[in-house]
Every structure is written in C-alpha cells, then in structure tokens.
Structure 1
Amino acid sequence: MRVVDSHFHWFPRSHFETMAARSAYPRTERVGDGYRYRYHDGRGFIPLPAIWFDLELGLETARAATGPDTVVVCTTGVLAGMLDQMPATEALDEAHAYNEEIAKAQRTHAGRFFGTAAVPLQDTSAALAVLDHAVRSLDLRGVNLPSMIGEETVDQERLEPFYARVAELGVPLIIHPTDLAFNDVLTGYADGLQRSLGRLLDSSVTVLRLIFSGVMERHPSLRVVQTHAGGLLPYQAGRIDKNARIEGLPALPSHYLRRIFVDTVAPQALTIRTALEYYGADNVLYGTDHPCWSPRAAVAVLDEADLDDEVRAKIYTNAASVFPLG
C-alpha cells in the first residue's frame, strides 16, 4: 500500500540563503549549519536545523515509519506567510525561485516527493500568474494559504478570481498555522500560548473566513485541507452554527465545514477519533508534520486510537486523490 504523508516540511537551502541576505524582516539568520527564522516584526524566532533542508534524511525517516512505498507532500508550514510580509516584487521573485526548487525536487524524487506552491497574494493578477505557472508548468499539487497578507485578511473581495482559479485547477488550498494573526496577544510562557493554542486559532479563523465570506459557497469544488485535525473547529461547530448568523449564506457554517479535509497531526487519540467522527473517514489524511513531529509518533497515535483496518487504510491513502497525486 502506498502511504501518503500529507503534512511534511522541507525547504531548499537556497531559500534560507536568500532570506538570510535580507536586512529587513522577515529574514533568516545563520546558526552553525542551520538557520533561525525571524518574524516580520523581528520578534521571536523559529530554529531551522539541517533536518529542514536535508530531503534524503526526511524521506528516509518517513519510510522508516510506514514502509518503503511511503510518499510525501511538502508544504510551507508555519512559514507560509513570510512572502506576504515582504515587498510585492521581492516576494514574487522568491516565490518563483522557491517553486522552481520544489518542482526540481519533485522531478528528482519522482513518485516519492510531491510539492505545493507558494503564491504571494499582495497583487491578485500577479498571484494568478504565479499560481498558473506553479500548477500548469511546474506540476505542483497544491497551494499554501497564509492567514494574513500584510495587514489584510484572506477574505478580501479582490481575491475572488484567485479562489476561482484554484478551484478550476483542481488543487487544494492548504491551511497551516502561521504566527501572523494572534502572536501579538498570545505572548509569554516561552511562546507556549502561541505555539499550542494560537496556531490552531490562526488556522481555524482562516477556514471560517473562507466559509463566512461565501468563498466555499461560491466554489463548491474548492478543496480545503486544514492541518492539525481541524484545529479548534470540530469541537465548537455547534456553537459556530448557533452564534454565527451570516447574512447571505444559504446553509449553516457546519455544512461547509464538513467539506474540509483534515490531517492526523494531533498527538492525542481522542482528537483523531473526534476528527473521524466529525469529518468522516474519507476526509481524514495521514500526516506527520516532519520535522516538527516524529513519523513514528504519528503512527503510534493511530495505534492508540484503535482504528479498524479499513479506516486506517483510508487515512493512509486519502491524500492521493485530494492533491491529486495520480
């Protein structure tokens, strides 16, 4: 069985080097053989040791957990919004360079590694051009969506052509937490509030913006993948239906929420079982969050959830059609 890890992080070292050459934030700083990423305001940092750009080691680690036929889908992860915090022209140049490197890795590791696109959204026309090139020319299999575009949110009316084109191309939007939306208020405790709760709030609000703004209503074929088992949303779906009275939305928010695909990057069996009950086995994808989490731990939590063989097989293979991988 070909197992698909839908939540895997890798960056070409050239990207970190480009970001290290910047004098303004966001940027990276060299630390030994690795880097650390400084946010758009210079506060806080994410350590980026060599595992973040050692693709061979990452692929080996993935296969060691689930077998030699394991393939990975590479996403931008918590760094998804970095380009949208940069000047538009610079962001476009780096997006093209990043996407070309991801596509090169996809060709080099054909059938084992699949890439997804970085698309800066400051300028809608430019975003459409980057999107088309990434999917149609480079054959990347998804599009990463940040929570913020500079000071703008993702539900701007000007982005309607972008969402329409993503739906038309048949690739999913990947919504992963960033540190852009709530980092200002969830401070302290060695970033414990932001990393544990803030990031889940970030991705959950991003999904709700797509629902409340009518993007998912207007584009019923649009596929959205939310990481970390749906964040906070499946636990509060009833409250969302009760309290979110959205004018012009013909169905309750939960109608659209159940269309979301989520992954199993959640280190608790109860969370896995809740995701399966709420979204259904067809909408839950295997993921490891490598190198932020261990592929062996990702398998262990599925063991702990005590899933039957049919459900587990679905989880391991669903991503092949969502992205799609062929």
Structure 2
Amino acid sequence: MTVVDINIHHLPEDLFSNPTMLNGFLDSAPRGFGEIARVAQLDDGRQQLILEKPAGYQNLNYVEGDYSAEAKLAAMDEAGVDYGIMRVPVWQEWLPLETCKAVNDNAHEIVKRSNGRLFSTACVPPWGGKENVYELERCVNELGVVGVQLACHYGQLYLDDPVFEPYLKVIERLDVPVIVHHTPLPVEWKTVIDYTNLRREFGRITDQATAVGRELFSGMFDRMPGLRFIHTMLGGNWFANTALLTPHASNKKEAITRLDPTGGEKIKSYLENNIFFDLTHPHSWGKAQVECAIEVNGADHYMFGSSFPVFYGWMSQGVEFLKNTVEISDAEREMVLAGNAKRLFNLPI
C-alpha cells in the first residue's frame, strides 16, 4: 500500500553554515514580543536553533543535520514511506521575503535530488503585497510546489482576519491547497507555559482548534469557496468539537437565546469542502481517538503526517499504527495513507 507523509519538516540545508541564512531566521523572531531565538551546541558538537517564549521556556529545537535530503530519504526508506511533502515548521510565521525565497529554492533543489519522492510547499509572507504574490506565483508556476503553507496565526491575527484576504484570493485563483501549520504557542499562551508537555503539545492543539473555529464561523469560505485548508494536529482535536460547535436549534421555547442556532448547514458544508486534517503522528493520539476522528469527519478528510524529524521514531510508528492497529476498512486506510494526499495536492504518483 502506497504511503504519503504530508508533514516532513524542511529547513535550508545550509542553515547552520550560511551566516546570512542563519541570521535571516534569528533576526526574524520578534524579540519585542518575547520570542527569543538563539543557537546552542549539543554535547556531540552539533548546533541547534532554539526558540523560547518567554525566556527559559523552549518551544522549538532545530538540530543541525536533521533536515538534509539524505536524512529525509533514509527515514522514509526505513519507515516504508514512498512520498513526502515538505513544509517549514512553525518559523514561517516570521520569515521575511528574501529568506523565504532562499528557503523555497533549497526545497526545490531537494525535490530535484529526491527522484520524484519529495514535494515542496511555498513559504511566503501572507500579506498580499505584489512582491509576495510574485514569489507565490514563482513557486507554483516555476518551482512546481504542490501547495502553500501558512501559520494558523500571524502575531495576534488568525487567518479569518481581512488583512489576509488579498493573499488568500490569489491562492484560490492558483487552485492549490493550503497546509495550515501550528505556531509555537496560541495567541493566549500564558496558561500553558509552565509544563513542557502542556506547552509543546496542548498549546499547539489549542492554537489549531481556535484557528479552525474562527475560519468556520467567519464566513470566509463564502467569499473564497475554492480554498482548501489542511490543518495540523487533527485540527486541534476538531473531531471532538464537530457536533458541539455546529449550531443547533432548541426544541423548546427558551427564555433567552444563549447560543446562535443558525448556520449549521453552512458549517457542515465548510467542513465537507474547505477543511481537512493532517493526522499528525497518529499513534500518539491513540487507537480510539483516531478511529473516532475518521468516523466523525470522514476518512476522506485525513492524511498521514509524521512531523519528522521532531522524533525520528514517529514516522515508522505512525505508518505501522495506521497499517496494523487502527481498525478501519482497506478503502479508508488507502485514503488516509495516500489517496487523499494524491487527490488534494494533485501529486503525480
């Protein structure tokens, strides 16, 4: 059975050896808002790029050598992954245009060296200015990217904010799907920072669920019905929220209206046509949870992702879990492992 991993992390291969590239990443983190970016050395001599918010609370660690084409392909061979889609993990929230261009060029070089096994997504600032649009068009028309990546929020602004609409309309016109990656922390982050797992896992889940909810209730898909968003982290457990947050009318006359009972059919249509989910390292979530997610939102809405190389083991564990542990039909398994990715990203596989 063919396997496509839609969540393989990409960073420039010369990130730690090219001062211009490294400074492009370090200098983009907004220190004035408490994002502390620094380089440290591991005991074995390799470097790592660390992001903290606030100082002393690590949210990201990028290790030298983990992001090479050779590391990706070796992990795929070991795990039984046939194809992979690359994305810049998290940092795209801040990267300036010139750094994005270099990131996109290096991703294109990796794609060419992969013998058809790896595909890239466009990393571009989402502000809609003509230079940003030109870079997006270059990525699609010249570099052959299969999708666009966005952060689920930029600073204080989630993607339903009107400031993003000019850029999103270009994406809709180009007819490419959007991978909406989580950010290091949600906008409201202070309640989750004290404990590592709460900060580095639940913080991302909260961020994704907030983003999906805002997109569904904003009406943005009425204005841009051709957009297709693929959210990481199962959309922040959105399967558990699907029924609860779909508007329902009461069967009784109530004293006051505490919840908006309208728009349920539109929410259902957005979930059907515009929102899809990255089944990120599925074994971590558990058999019952993954089976429930697929039952609630449909196998045609989920795609396998590993987040490689956050943990090297996640790729092989995820493939084994989906092939041998989750109890779904063979047709559903094929959709989750490869069919949905091939369809949504129009992969030539």
Provide the TM-score with structure 1 as the length reference: 0.86
Secondary structure of the 1:14 match is coil
- The offset of 1:51, in angstroms, is 4.8
In the alignment, the residues of structure 1 paired with residue 15 and residue 159 of structure 2 have an alpha-carbon distance, to the nearest angstrom, of: 24
1:124 and 1:158 in contact (8 A); partners too: no
Letter in 1 for 2:67: F
In the alignment, the residues of structure 2 paired with residue 121 and residue 284 of structure 1 have an alpha-carbon distance, to the nearest angstrom, of: 25
In the alignment, the residues of structure 1 paired with residue 294 and residue 320 of structure 2 have an alpha-carbon distance, to the nearest angstrom, of: 17
> How many pairs are equivalent?
315
Q: Among 130, 133, 136, which residue is 2:141 paired with?
A: 136
Secondary structure of the 1:241 match is coil
In the alignment, the residues of structure 2 paired with residue 73 and residue 152 of structure 1 have an alpha-carbon distance, to the nearest angstrom, of: 26
Provide closer, same or farther for how the CA distance between residues 325 and 24 of structure 1 changes in structure 2, counting only shifts above 3 A: same
Where does the alignment leave 5 or more consecutive residues of structure 1 unmatched?
84-90
1:264 and 1:286 in contact (8 A); partners too: yes
Larger Rg: 2
Letter in 2 for 1:36: L
1:33 aligns to 2:46 (yes or no)? yes
- 1:6 aligns to what? 6
Where does the alignment leave 5 or more consecutive residues of structure 2 unmatched?
30-36, 248-257
In the alignment, the residues of structure 2 paired with residue 145 and residue 201 of structure 1 have an alpha-carbon distance, to the nearest angstrom, of: 17
- The offset of 1:297, in angstroms, is 1.1
1:20 and 1:30 in contact (8 A); partners too: no
Letter in 2 for 1:269: K
Q: Among 94, 113, 120, which residue is 2:125 paired with?
A: 120
- The offset of 1:250, in angstroms, is 8.0
2:92 and 2:151 in contact (8 A); partners too: yes
Letter in 2 for 1:6: I
Letter in 1 for 2:150: L
- The offset of 1:66, in angstroms, is 2.0
1:234 aligns to 2:239 (yes or no)? yes
- The offset of 1:232, in angstroms, is 2.4
Secondary structure of the 1:206 match is helix
In the alignment, the residues of structure 2 paired with residue 280 and residue 241 of structure 1 have an alpha-carbon distance, to the nearest angstrom, of: 16
Q: Among 186, 189, 192, which residue is 1:183 paired with?
A: 189
Q: Among 41, 44, 47, which residue is 2:57 paired with?
A: 44
- 1:286 aligns to what? 304
2:12 and 2:67 in contact (8 A); partners too: yes
Letter in 2 for 1:150: G
Provide closer, same or farther for how the CA distance between residues 134 and 245 of structure 1 changes in structure 2, counting only shifts above 3 A: farther
In the alignment, the residues of structure 1 paired with residue 343 and residue 216 of structure 2 have an alpha-carbon distance, to the nearest angstrom, of: 23
Runs of 4 or more off by more than 6 Å in structure 1? none
- The offset of 1:311, in angstroms, is 1.8
In the alignment, the residues of structure 1 paired with residue 133 and residue 242 of structure 2 have an alpha-carbon distance, to the nearest angstrom, of: 33
Provide closer, same or farther for how the CA distance between residues 322 and 177 of structure 1 changes in structure 2, counting only shifts above 3 A: same
Q: Deviations over 1:254-297 (max 9, x none)?
A: 33123322132232112221221122122221222211242121
- 1:308 aligns to what? 329
- 1:322 aligns to what? 344
- 2:271 aligns to what? 257
Q: Which moved more, 1:102-111 or 1:38-47?
A: 38-47
